Amino acid sequence: MAGSGTSDVKLLGAWASPYVVRARIALNLKEVQYEFLEEQFGTKSELLLKSNPIYKKIPVLIHDEKPVCESMIIVQYIDDVWINSGPALMPADAYDRALQRFWTVYVDDKFVPSLFGIMRSPTEEAKAEAKEQALASLQLLEEAFGKISKGKPFFGGDTIGYLDIALGSFLGWMKAFEEMNGFKLLDDTKTPLLCAWADNFCNNEVVGAVIPETAKLVELAKVMQARYKSAPPAN
Amino acid sequence: MASEKGIKLLDFWVSPFGQRARIALAEKGVEYEHKEENLLAEKSELLLKSNPVHKKIPVLIHDGKPVCESLIIVQYIDEVWPDKAPLLPSDPYQRAQARFWADFVDKKVFECGGRLWKLKGEEQEAAKKEMIEILQILEAQLGDKKYFGGDTFGFVDVAFVPLTSWFYSCETCANFSVEAVAPKIVLWVQRCMERESVAKTLSDPKKVYEYVRFLKKRFRIE
């Protein structure tokens, strides 16, 4: 296990996946040189199937031929390995770590499904419900930010950390949905802290390089929505 | 709630998630106050205050500060009391593997097991097929190791072993045998039960089955 110059690091991913963005932000913050292997939309490469036989999903980090799967497990792994490079992604205090892990699970289990529910919902009614749930989740995250950031710009304090990466990786898609649907998810009056945080996050040079462009995501979303509409109804 | 010293665990007797926390605390030799919530009645004020987001047990309250979500609690316990019985390995790659498999157990075993005893007919058959696949994957992952953690009892063992008390209920409701599809897992359970932390914590599978039958009646699934 050596520094970024001598080890072999590959990331299997796709430009639009927020889960892949998580891994890329972590790698970039730690200044790790890596090869990005883009999976083609709709197909799975042999390397992917071999590296992640359980879920067959991206991202997969392959470090010296050994695969690591699941985006936030990858982020923790990057933090553990490249410990002397870049900022620490996890806070030093065990309780603070538990809080960031808790809210990361919340993002994954509650916020993200409601966010993508906005795109996937077959009826206007279901879409409205998904939107309400997404907004309610963001309200809780706003309160959590107030407590965890302790007045600093990020959940991680002065620097981007674990929970920032977990939530911030979805900002590209959030902006795409705001544009497509003509409503705001982050709002100056309801979630002022998260609005400021989102600006700080996206303006960070490491992040800016990997968050997908809103216009491209909107285009992709339209393609995906057409697929959902033309697919036979799920039982 | 702020500066109350000590450790409290909000729990429910049959919850495998609460048992993860109890096993971890026992492995570390940590003294704590065990508070049984009656989830079949009203949730206590302390629970609602400590876990306002999910209102679920287990919650570990350490010097007044609540930690929620069983695997997060186990990691917290491992980090606060690192000197005895380390649960996560020190090597980053092994840690990533341990987290992956604990997460796999979380995502797959309980949910599929629930479908096994709640559903009937075709849906139950589908759940059974899935459960057999899940057990075979875990069997392959365990291989010939003493524990999922290797020679030492670790994070994945803590994550999975409480769920094994529910095997009897799944087998009885869906008519299959865990031992037939995953004999190494069954032997691993026996080895884990030789540890005091596990033996004193796990529910008797017959009592779990009584509880499952009670739930089925209550929710009229029969």
Average pLDDT over residues B11-18: 97
**For residue A231, what pLDDT is reported?**
58
Average pLDDT over residues B14-34: 98
The domains located in chain A, with CATH, are 9-81 (3.40.30.10), 94-226 (1.20.1050.10)
* Higher per-residue pLDDT: A216 or B1: A216
* Chain A partners within 8 Å of B96 (Cβ): 68, 73-74, 76-77, 80
Q: How far B23 CA sits from the closest chain A CA (Å)?
A: 18
According to DSSP, the residues that pair with A11 across neighbouring strands are: A36, A61
Percent of chain A with pLDDT over 90: 85
Are the Cβ atoms of A70 and B99 closer than 8 angstroms? yes
Q: Where are the alpha helices (DSSP H) in chain B?
A: 16-28, 45-50, 70-80, 92-118, 121-142, 155-160, 167-174, 178-181, 183-193, 196-199, 205-218
Quote the domain boundaries for residue B75.
Answer: 7-80
**For residue A2, what pLDDT is reported?**
44
* Chain B stretch 14-43, residues whose beta carbon is closer than 8 A to a beta carbon of chain A: none
* Of B123, B100, B65, nearest in space to A93 by CA: B65
| Least confident segment among A8-12, B38-42, B122-126 | B38-42
* Chain A partners within 8 Å of B68 (Cβ): 102
Q: Over 60: is that where the pLDDT of B155 sits?
A: yes
Six token digits for residue A41: 């939309």
- Note the pLDDT tens digit of each residue in B173-204: 999 999 999 999 999 999 999 999 999 999 99
3-state secondary structure A74-98: HHHHHHHHCCCCCCCCCCCCHHHHH
**For residue B41, what pLDDT is reported?**
87
Average pLDDT over residues A76-98: 97
Six token digits for residue A54: 């359980």
Residue B2 lies in a domain: no
Q: How far B210 CA sits from the closest chain A CA (Å)?
A: 31
Q: Are A174 and A157 in contact (CB under 8 A)?
A: no
Residue B87 lies in a domain: no
Burial B23-46 (b: 16+ CB within 10 A, else e): bbbbbbeeebeeeebebeeeeeeb
Look at the block and give the residue holding tokens 């992709």.
A220
Q: What is the CATH number of the domain that holds B37?
A: 3.40.30.10
How many domains does chain B divide into?
2
- Note the pLDDT tens digit of each residue in A37-51: 999 988 999 999 999
What 3-state DSSP class applies to A31?
A: coil
| Of residues B68, B69, B96, nearest to A77 (C-beta) | B96
* Of B26, B16, B37, nearest in space to B7 by CA: B26
Same structural domain, B108 and B45: no
- The DSSP 8-state label assigned to residue A107 in this structure reads I
Average pLDDT over residues A213-226: 90
| Cis status, amide bond into A87, omega within 30 of 0 | no
Q: Over 80: is that where the pLDDT of B150 sits?
A: yes
Same structural domain, B99 and B69: no
Are the Cβ atoms of B67 and A105 closer than 8 angstroms? no
Count of Cβ atoms closer than 10 Å to residue A230 Cβ: 7
| Of residues B68, B76, B100, nearest to A73 (C-beta) | B100
**For residue A4, what pLDDT is reported?**
47
| Of residues A73, A94, A101, nearest to B96 (C-beta) | A73
Identify the band that residue A232 occupies on the pLDDT scale cut at 50, 70 and 90.
low
Q: How far A41 CA sits from the closest chain B CA (Å)?
A: 25
Residue B86 lies in a domain: no
| Of residues A69, A101, A105, nearest to B100 (C-beta) | A69
| Least confident segment among A54-58, A227-231, B41-45, B149-153 | A227-231
At A234, give phi and psi (nearest 5°): -70, 150
| Cis status, amide bond into B58, omega within 30 of 0 | yes
Same structural domain, B153 and B176: yes
- Closest CA in chain B for residue A97: B76
* Of A84, A80, A74, nearest in space to A23 by CA: A74
Residue B124 lies in a domain: yes
Same structural domain, B55 and B145: no
Same structural domain, B201 and B157: yes
* Chain B stretch 173-212, residues whose beta carbon is closer than 8 A to a beta carbon of chain A: none
| Of residues A63, A70, A98, nearest to B76 (C-beta) | A98
Q: With an 8 Å Cβ cutoff, is B65 touching chain A?
A: yes
* Chain B partners within 8 Å of A97 (Cβ): 75-76, 79
Identify the band that residue B40 occupies on the pLDDT scale cut at 50, 70 and 90.
confident
**For residue A120, what pLDDT is reported?**
86
Longest CA–CA span in chain A (Å) reads 54
* Chain B partners within 8 Å of A81 (Cβ): 92
Q: With an 8 Å Cβ cutoff, is B96 touching chain A?
A: yes
**For residue A235, what pLDDT is reported?**
47
* Of A68, A146, A70, nearest in space to A103 by CA: A146
Same structural domain, B158 and B72: no
Q: Over 80: is that where the pLDDT of A7 sits?
A: no
Are the Cβ atoms of A106 and B53 closer than 8 angstroms? yes
Same structural domain, B101 and B195: yes
Q: With an 8 Å Cβ cutoff, is B83 touching chain A?
A: no
Query: CA-to-CA distance for B98 and B157, rounded, in angstroms?
Result: 9
Q: In what order do the strands lie in the sheet with B33-36?
A: B33-36, B7-11, B59-62, B65-68
Query: CA-to-CA distance for A131 and B63, rounded, in angstroms?
Result: 38
Six token digits for residue A191: 């979630």
Q: What is the CATH number of the domain that holds B194?
A: 1.20.1050.10
Same structural domain, B58 and B102: no
* Higher per-residue pLDDT: B221 or B23: B23
Over chain B, what is the mean pLDDT? 95
Q: Where are the alpha helices (DSSP H) in chain A?
A: 18-29, 46-51, 71-81, 94-106, 112-120, 124-149, 162-168, 171-181, 192-203, 205-208, 214-230
Q: Over 80: is that where the pLDDT of B149 sits?
A: yes
At A158, give phi and psi (nearest 5°): -75, -25
Over chain A, what is the mean pLDDT? 93
**For residue B4, what pLDDT is reported?**
82
